[in-house]
Structure 1
Amino acid sequence: MLPSETVDSYEVGVKTALMDRTLFLDGSAFFYQYDNFQTSVQQGTQIITTNAGKAESYGFEGQARWVPSDVLSLYASYGYNHSRFKAGIREGNRFRLSPDHSTALGAILSVPAGPGRVAFSPSITWQSAVFFDDDNDRADLQQPPAALVADNIQDEKQKGYALVNARLGYEAPGGGWRVEAFVENAFDKAYIKDAGNTGDGLGMPTFIAGEPRFYGVSASFRFGGAK
């Protein structure tokens, strides 16, 4: 039986409104310290839980929103997350699916159109590189007997990438109904959202592609009257 995983967590934050409540700023800093961090390792074709020892994570998250008028709203966010193993054979490795940097930028432009409003909402998100396993696809951690077939190439990793999305819609007075066209991953950026998995121990890792460009039209209705 593994010893219990424990974590000491600390967080401090602030929220404020400036410029006659047209500029809103939020931010928080955090620090997590783990003992007996539990993670998964592959032994042959089996996935088992193991004790990776000490680990820590610290960083910052911030958001800003500027609303100069009832027509325009701009927003931005940024996150820094330094998550690393501090002991054992994985010392220095990053946590899985944990980008060091991530950010988002967007706008909402809403103008009167007849009795309702037309809104256009473009946005862009970006994140830095991620690994899909706590072993960070290191060759020295993927040799027999841990794996049936040695993995000597560090390819189960996604480099930093950006995605662009947009929505254009019309909303009836009081928000009773809304129809909009949308596009996600507008520039059809190719990326992977998972890699490795059980087949990795057999020398046949799987690579799961992220969603390609996707577009369509949606409609929504509110029943019971506007509130």
Structure 2
Amino acid sequence: SPLLASAAVPAAVKPFIGAIVTLTCTGNSTTALNALNLRDSFNDGEFTGTAVVSYKPTDRLMTYASYAKGYKAGGYNLDRSNLGTSTRGNVFSSPTNADAPGLRFDAEKVDAYEIGAKYNISGQFNVNVAAFRQEFKDFQLNTFNGSVFVVQNIQGCDNDLGGADTDNVQFNGTCVGDANRKGVISQGVEVEATLSPIRDVTFTAGYTYADTYFRRNLVGNSQGAALDPALFLLPGNQMSNAPKNVVTNSFTWTPAIGSSGLRGLVYIDSRTTSDYNTGSDLAPEKKQDGFSVVNARVGLRGKDQLWALELWAQNVFNKDYIQVAFNSPFQGAGSIANAQRFGGTSNALYSAFLAEPRTYGATLRSRF
């Protein structure tokens, strides 16, 4: 392009012009890797396990505390990648073997703590209460950016980044201090109860409050690399697919039918969740409002449950809700949040995977 040779064009702008000039549709392969001998490796390893201590002050009450350490191995982003274009500023430089580490993401580690109590009265009533906290280091966030899938580590910086992790400037927001602060926290309480007031009738109820959030001052790994600007909404906000409130209920009735040994079955359960965002970048267009789903089952069971015939329905009231929303490939750019914070145009299109609609059927079981 003549613009690239013109002295009137600022040098800082030329890489962006070059990116536009060289822009092509992304295919299933790339010529950028032709004749390039890639060599890179790393070693991962971690001791994991669970420790539990419990105490029964009475026959009906048990208390406990537990700690668990989890681990998910690191890897490489190889989905139609042009090898390091997210880390190399010059769009015209040929990729080299030195760029290979730029495709790497680190192992994810989690420390999980839980304390709780379980109380039981002769099988007629029991209640479980627990408080939990999970701390994630180098959390592996799987993101679809409209063209490729990318795994981005999420880590916290001890220093105040001054909002550099919430702007749209590439490479801005590097942590110059300690980047070992865990970037994702999940904490809350859970209560479950079961009641059998009369023979053959059981009620269950559960409630979970989970505050699962990204910390402020986020970076892209424990080495302090800047967070991807596409994730500017993450710092300080609730994590995707993590509603704060979830309520569950169920009712079961299994009446005996005379003295035949047969039993009927009536079962209903429901799950209600509060609002949550279904997109890994937390774009507001990907938000799912709170909803409830009801399932039901009726049937007949033979003596000693040697056979059973059940009619069932899932999502009885045919509730529409989003499981995952994502950027439609190459369909516009910029969410409402981009336009509100940085200006410009918001014309991105979004697609979604919806949950299953109402489904129903029959099941015949037998045991030999």
Query: Normalised by the size of structure 1, how large is the TM-score?
Result: 0.83
Q: Distance in 2 between matches of 1:43 and 1:157?
A: 17
Q: Secondary structure, in 3 states, of the residue corresponding to 1:199? A: coil
Distance in 1 between the 2:144 and 2:193 partners?
42
Q: What is the alpha-carbon distance in structure 2 between the residues aligned to residue 200 and residue 132 of structure 1?
A: 20
Q: Which residue of 2 aligns with 1:111?
A: 255
Q: Which amino acid aligns with 2:250?
A: G
Match of 2:175 in 1: none
Name 2:318's counterpart in structure 1.
188
**Cα drift, residue 121 of structure 1:** 0.6
* Cα distance in 1 for residues equivalent to 2:145 and 2:324: 20
In structure 2, relative to structure 1, the CA distance for the partners of 1:68 and 1:157 (3 Å cut) is: same
Of 185, 190, 206, 2:351 maps to 206
Give 2:207's match in structure 1, choosing from 63, 78, 95.
78
Q: Is the 8 A contact 1:42 1:201 kept in 2?
A: no
Q: Pick one of 53, 77, 101 that aligns with 2:245.
A: 101
Structure 2, unmatched stretches of 5+, are: 1-103, 156-182, 219-231, 333-347
In structure 2, distance between residues paired with 1:170 and 1:97: 37
Question: Is the 8 Å Cα contact of residues 278 and 322 (structure 2) preserved in structure 1?
Answer: no
Aligned length: 206
Q: CA deviation at 1:51?
A: 2.6
Q: Whose Rg is larger?
A: 2
Q: Over residues 30-83 of structure 1, what are the superposed CA-to-partner deviations in whole Å (9 max), with x where a residue is unaligned?
A: 111223323234556233222321121101122100112322111111111100
* CA–CA separation in structure 2 for the residues paired with 1:162 and 1:215: 18
Alignment of 1:26-175 (within 5 A): 26-42=128-144, 45-53=147-155, 54-87=183-216, 88=218, 89=232, 90-114=234-258, 115=260, 116-137=262-283, 154-175=284-305
Q: Give the letter for the 2:120 counterpart.
A: A
| 1:5 correspondence with 2:135 | no
CA distance in 2, matches of 1:38, 1:210: 24
Point out the more displaced range, 62-71 or 161-170.
Answer: 62-71
Aligned-pair CA distance for 1:26: 1.2
Asked whether the 8 Å contact 1:7–1:35 carries over to 2, the reply is yes
Judge which range, 7-16 or 154-163, deviates more: 7-16
Corresponding residue SS for 1:30: strand
Deviations 1:159-206 (A, max 9, x none): 110011111110011000000111111111111211115637753422
The unaligned stretches of length 5 or more in structure 1 are: 138-153
Deviation at 1:107, TM superposition (A): 0.7
Q: Tell me whether 1:16 sits opposite 2:119 in the alignment.
A: yes
Q: What is the rounded CA distance, in whole Å, between the counterparts of 1:86 and 1:165 in structure 2?
A: 37
In terms of mean alpha carbon deviation, does 43-52 or 29-38 score higher?
Answer: 43-52
- The DSSP-based 3-state class of the residue aligned with 2:254 is strand
The residue number in structure 2 matching 1:222 is 367
The offset of 1:84, in angstroms, is 0.5
Aligned to 1:143: none
Kindly, what percent of the aligned residue pairs are identical?
26
Give the structure 2 partner of residue 141 of structure 1.
none
Match for residue 179 of structure 1 among 309, 330, 345: 309
- Letter aligned with residue 35 of structure 1: K
Q: Which moved more, 1:39-48 or 1:58-67?
A: 39-48
Q: Is the 8 A contact 1:15 1:27 kept in 2?
A: yes
Cα distance change, pair 178–204 in 1 and its aligned pair in 2 (3 A): same
1 or 2 for the larger relative contact order (CA 8 Å, sep ≥6)? Answer: 1
TM-score, normalising length: structure 2: 0.52
Secondary structure of 1:174 counterpart: helix
- SS, match of residue 210 in structure 2: strand
**1:107-163: CA deviation from partner (whole Å, max 9, x where unpaired):** 1111111410111011211111221223211xxxxxxxxxxxxxxxx2211111001
Q: Is the 8 A contact 2:146 2:326 kept in 1?
A: no
After superposition, the Cα gap between the structure-2 partners of 1:5 and 1:165, relative to the gap in structure 1 and judged at 3 Å, is: closer
Residues 1:8 and 1:117: Cα distance change in structure 2 (over 3 Å): same
CA contact (8 A) 2:279 2:324 kept: no
8 Å Cα contact 1:180-1:218 kept in structure 2 = yes
Root-mean-square deviation (CA, aligned residues, Å) is 2.0
Mean alpha-carbon deviation: is it higher for 176-185 or for 26-35? 26-35
